[in-house]
Amino acid sequence: MTLGTLANALSAQLHGDAQIRIHAVATLGDASAGEISFLANRRYRSQLKTTNASAVILSAEFAK
């Protein structure tokens, strides 16, 4: 599915390319291209800089 379709399904605000294809979910540390991850615990915030995920679901708190 595309990132745009996923964002619409989640009623999420999308920042980026809506046409990116997403095929799996992974942790920030294990993610690769085509995978989406999420940040729910600030302990893993530093992994945002090094993740290979194509997209990351963030709360407004972490989007800054």
CATH number of residue 51's parent domain: 3.40.1390.10
Confidence of residue 23 (pLDDT cuts 50, 70, 90): very high
- Kindly report whether the global pTM for this prediction surpasses the value 0.85: yes
21, 34 in Cβ contact below 8 A?
yes
Domain count, the chain: 1
pLDDT at 61: 82
User: Residue 56: which domain range?
Assistant: 3-63
In tens, the pLDDT along 24-41 reads: 999 999 999 999 999 989
pLDDT at 16: 93
pLDDT at 43: 94
What is the CB neighbour count within 10 angstroms for residue 35? 19
